[in-house]
Amino acid sequence: MSSTAMILVTAFDTLAQIGNPAPQAPPIADKFQQMVSYFTWFVLLAGITAIIFAGGRFAWEKWTGGGLESPKMVAGAMIGGVVATSAGTIMNALIA
Span 24-83, pLDDT tens digits: 878 888 888 888 888 888 888 888 888 888 888 888 888 888 777 778 888 888 888 888
The pLDDT score that the predictor gives to residue 46 is 85
pLDDT-based confidence at residue 1 (cuts at 50, 70, 90)? low
Give the dihedral sign, CA 68/70/73/78.
negative
96 has a pLDDT exceeding 70: no
Q: Is the pLDDT of residue 19 over 80?
A: no
Question: By the 8 A CB rule, do 58 and 74 touch?
Answer: yes
Question: Is the torsion defined by CA of 88, 90, 94, 96 positive or negative?
Answer: positive
CA distance linking residue 75 with residue 80, whole number of Å: 8
